[in-house]
Amino acid sequence: MTAVKVAGKRFRAEPLTPDEAPAVQQLLEACADYCQMVLGRNPLPGDAEALYLMGPEAGRAAGDKLLYGIRPAEGGGLIGLLDVFRNYPEPGIWYVGLLLFHPAKRSGGIGREVLESVAAAARDAAARELQLNVVAQNVKAFAFWSRNGFEEIRRWEQRYEQRDSTFIRMRRSLQA
Protein backbone atom coordinates (compact mmCIF):
# COMPACT_ATOMS: atom_id res chain seq x y z
CA MET A 1 0.00 0.00 0.00
CA THR A 2 1.30 3.42 -0.90
CA ALA A 3 0.56 5.79 1.95
CA VAL A 4 -0.71 9.32 1.45
CA LYS A 5 -0.01 12.19 3.80
CA VAL A 6 -2.73 12.78 6.38
CA ALA A 7 -1.61 15.31 8.97
CA GLY A 8 -2.77 18.38 10.84
CA LYS A 9 -1.78 20.83 13.53
CA ARG A 10 -3.24 18.72 16.34
CA PHE A 11 -2.71 15.19 15.04
CA ARG A 12 -0.48 12.91 13.06
CA ALA A 13 -1.80 9.92 11.17
CA GLU A 14 0.48 7.07 10.21
CA PRO A 15 -0.17 3.74 8.51
CA LEU A 16 -0.86 1.03 11.08
CA THR A 17 1.28 -2.08 11.06
CA PRO A 18 0.09 -5.51 12.22
CA ASP A 19 2.33 -5.34 15.30
CA GLU A 20 0.18 -2.42 16.52
CA ALA A 21 -2.92 -4.63 16.73
CA PRO A 22 -2.84 -4.71 20.57
CA ALA A 23 -3.05 -0.89 20.70
CA VAL A 24 -5.82 -0.94 18.09
CA GLN A 25 -7.69 -3.54 20.14
CA GLN A 26 -7.34 -1.39 23.25
CA LEU A 27 -8.80 1.59 21.38
CA LEU A 28 -11.69 -0.50 20.06
CA GLU A 29 -12.44 -1.65 23.60
CA ALA A 30 -12.45 1.98 24.78
CA CYS A 31 -14.97 2.63 21.98
CA ALA A 32 -17.39 -0.10 23.10
CA ASP A 33 -20.23 2.45 22.83
CA TYR A 34 -19.60 2.68 19.07
CA CYS A 35 -19.41 -1.11 18.68
CA GLN A 36 -22.69 -1.55 20.56
CA MET A 37 -24.42 1.11 18.48
CA VAL A 38 -23.22 -0.13 15.09
CA LEU A 39 -22.59 -3.86 15.58
CA GLY A 40 -24.95 -4.64 18.46
CA ARG A 41 -22.12 -6.14 20.52
CA ASN A 42 -19.00 -5.30 22.48
CA PRO A 43 -15.59 -5.54 20.81
CA LEU A 44 -14.27 -9.09 20.45
CA PRO A 45 -10.62 -10.13 20.97
CA GLY A 46 -9.95 -10.48 17.21
CA ASP A 47 -11.57 -7.25 16.06
CA ALA A 48 -8.28 -5.36 15.71
CA GLU A 49 -6.79 -8.01 13.41
CA ALA A 50 -10.00 -8.09 11.37
CA LEU A 51 -9.81 -4.32 10.84
CA TYR A 52 -6.57 -4.78 8.89
CA LEU A 53 -8.37 -7.08 6.45
CA MET A 54 -11.81 -5.52 6.23
CA GLY A 55 -12.87 -3.75 3.10
CA PRO A 56 -16.08 -2.31 1.78
CA GLU A 57 -16.49 -5.37 -0.45
CA ALA A 58 -14.64 -8.56 -1.17
CA GLY A 59 -12.21 -8.49 -4.06
CA ARG A 60 -10.83 -5.00 -3.57
CA ALA A 61 -7.13 -4.57 -4.16
CA ALA A 62 -5.12 -4.41 -0.93
CA GLY A 63 -3.29 -1.33 -2.20
CA ASP A 64 -6.54 0.64 -2.23
CA LYS A 65 -6.88 0.44 1.57
CA LEU A 66 -5.36 3.10 3.81
CA LEU A 67 -5.50 2.21 7.51
CA TYR A 68 -4.08 4.88 9.81
CA GLY A 69 -3.60 5.32 13.50
CA ILE A 70 -4.29 8.84 14.69
CA ARG A 71 -2.10 10.20 17.49
CA PRO A 72 -1.72 13.62 19.12
CA ALA A 73 0.73 15.84 17.23
CA GLU A 74 2.84 16.16 20.37
CA GLY A 75 3.15 12.38 20.59
CA GLY A 76 1.46 9.64 22.54
CA GLY A 77 -0.74 6.65 21.97
CA LEU A 78 -3.60 6.02 19.58
CA ILE A 79 -6.55 8.37 19.92
CA GLY A 80 -8.29 7.36 16.71
CA LEU A 81 -8.50 5.21 13.61
CA LEU A 82 -8.97 6.13 9.98
CA ASP A 83 -9.82 3.57 7.31
CA VAL A 84 -10.11 4.86 3.72
CA PHE A 85 -10.40 3.07 0.39
CA ARG A 86 -9.15 4.78 -2.74
CA ASN A 87 -11.13 4.48 -5.95
CA TYR A 88 -14.15 2.81 -4.39
CA PRO A 89 -16.88 2.24 -5.41
CA GLU A 90 -15.42 3.57 -8.66
CA PRO A 91 -12.35 5.47 -9.84
CA GLY A 92 -12.27 9.05 -8.54
CA ILE A 93 -14.15 8.30 -5.32
CA TRP A 94 -12.56 7.70 -1.94
CA TYR A 95 -14.67 5.78 0.58
CA VAL A 96 -14.29 6.49 4.30
CA GLY A 97 -14.82 3.13 5.96
CA LEU A 98 -14.13 4.28 9.52
CA LEU A 99 -13.25 7.45 11.39
CA LEU A 100 -13.30 6.61 15.08
CA PHE A 101 -11.96 8.44 18.13
CA HIS A 102 -11.46 7.56 21.76
CA PRO A 103 -14.48 8.92 23.68
CA ALA A 104 -12.27 11.48 25.49
CA LYS A 105 -11.19 12.93 22.11
CA ARG A 106 -14.61 13.25 20.49
CA SER A 107 -16.38 16.57 19.87
CA GLY A 108 -13.21 18.65 20.11
CA GLY A 109 -12.75 19.42 16.41
CA ILE A 110 -10.02 16.91 15.63
CA GLY A 111 -12.41 14.84 13.50
CA ARG A 112 -12.99 17.79 11.20
CA GLU A 113 -9.24 18.37 10.97
CA VAL A 114 -8.63 14.73 10.02
CA LEU A 115 -11.49 14.84 7.50
CA GLU A 116 -10.12 17.98 5.83
CA SER A 117 -6.67 16.40 5.57
CA VAL A 118 -8.18 13.30 3.93
CA ALA A 119 -10.17 15.49 1.54
CA ALA A 120 -6.99 17.36 0.56
CA ALA A 121 -5.12 14.09 -0.02
CA ALA A 122 -7.99 12.77 -2.14
CA ARG A 123 -8.13 16.00 -4.20
CA ASP A 124 -4.36 15.81 -4.71
CA ALA A 125 -4.86 12.30 -6.07
CA ALA A 126 -7.51 13.61 -8.52
CA ALA A 127 -10.49 12.20 -6.61
CA ARG A 128 -13.72 14.04 -7.25
CA GLU A 129 -15.73 12.84 -4.25
CA LEU A 130 -15.69 11.27 -0.79
CA GLN A 131 -18.37 8.73 0.17
CA LEU A 132 -19.26 6.81 3.31
CA ASN A 133 -22.02 4.91 5.05
CA VAL A 134 -23.39 5.86 8.45
CA VAL A 135 -26.07 4.00 10.40
CA ALA A 136 -29.16 6.00 11.28
CA GLN A 137 -28.87 5.22 15.01
CA ASN A 138 -25.48 6.97 15.08
CA VAL A 139 -27.14 10.39 15.25
CA LYS A 140 -23.99 12.26 16.29
CA ALA A 141 -22.00 10.81 13.37
CA PHE A 142 -24.77 11.67 10.89
CA ALA A 143 -24.77 15.25 12.23
CA PHE A 144 -20.95 15.42 11.99
CA TRP A 145 -20.89 14.29 8.37
CA SER A 146 -23.78 16.62 7.45
CA ARG A 147 -22.07 19.62 9.09
CA ASN A 148 -18.96 18.82 7.09
CA GLY A 149 -20.53 18.97 3.65
CA PHE A 150 -21.81 15.44 3.13
CA GLU A 151 -25.24 14.92 1.63
CA GLU A 152 -27.43 11.85 1.70
CA ILE A 153 -27.57 9.76 -1.48
CA ARG A 154 -29.77 6.85 -0.38
CA ARG A 155 -30.96 4.68 2.52
CA TRP A 156 -31.46 0.95 2.90
CA GLU A 157 -32.10 -1.63 5.61
CA GLN A 158 -29.41 -4.19 6.33
CA ARG A 159 -28.27 -6.52 9.08
CA TYR A 160 -24.67 -5.82 10.10
CA GLU A 161 -23.23 -8.19 12.68
CA GLN A 162 -25.93 -8.48 15.37
CA ARG A 163 -27.95 -5.36 14.53
CA ASP A 164 -30.57 -4.48 11.93
CA SER A 165 -29.89 -0.93 10.80
CA THR A 166 -30.85 1.73 8.35
CA PHE A 167 -27.71 2.59 6.42
CA ILE A 168 -27.30 6.03 4.92
CA ARG A 169 -24.90 6.52 2.00
CA MET A 170 -23.48 10.04 1.96
CA ARG A 171 -21.16 11.92 -0.34
CA ARG A 172 -19.18 15.12 -0.48
CA SER A 173 -17.93 16.68 -3.68
CA LEU A 174 -14.25 17.60 -3.79
CA GLN A 175 -14.61 19.72 -6.89
CA ALA A 176 -14.62 23.49 -6.59
The model's pLDDT over 77-96, given as tens digits with 9 standing for 90+, comes to: 999 999 999 998 899 999 99
pLDDT value of residue 65: 87
SS3 75: coil
pLDDT value of residue 98: 93
| Reported confidence tier of residue 175, pLDDT bands at 50, 70, 90 | confident
C-beta separation of 141 from 125 below 8 A: no
The model's pLDDT over 8-28, given as tens digits with 9 standing for 90+, comes to: 999 999 999 999 999 999 999
Domain count for the chain, please give it. Answer: 1
In this structure, is residue 5 part of a structural domain?
Answer: no
In this structure, is residue 108 part of a structural domain?
Answer: yes
User: Exposed (0-12), middle (13-18) or buried (19+): which is 115, by Cβ within 10 Å?
Assistant: buried
- Supply the CATH number for residue 54's domain: 3.40.630.30
70, 80, 83, 174: which is closest to 122 by C-alpha? Answer: 174
- High-pLDDT (> 90) share of the chain, %: 71
Mean pLDDT of 31-49: 91
Which range of residues forms the domain containing residue 106? 11-132
pLDDT, the chain, mean: 91
The total of other beta-carbon atoms located within 10 Å of residue 80's CB is 23
In this structure, is residue 30 part of a structural domain?
Answer: yes
- Residues listed for the chain: 176
Mean pLDDT of 154-165: 90
User: Exposed (0-12), middle (13-18) or buried (19+): which is 70, by Cβ within 10 Å?
Assistant: buried
In this structure, is residue 166 part of a structural domain?
Answer: no
CA distance 160 to 63: 25
pLDDT value of residue 62: 57
In this structure, is residue 176 part of a structural domain?
Answer: no
In this structure, is residue 168 part of a structural domain?
Answer: no
In this structure, is residue 162 part of a structural domain?
Answer: no
Mean pLDDT of 150-168: 92
| Residue 61 predicted with pLDDT over 70 | no
In this structure, is residue 117 part of a structural domain?
Answer: yes
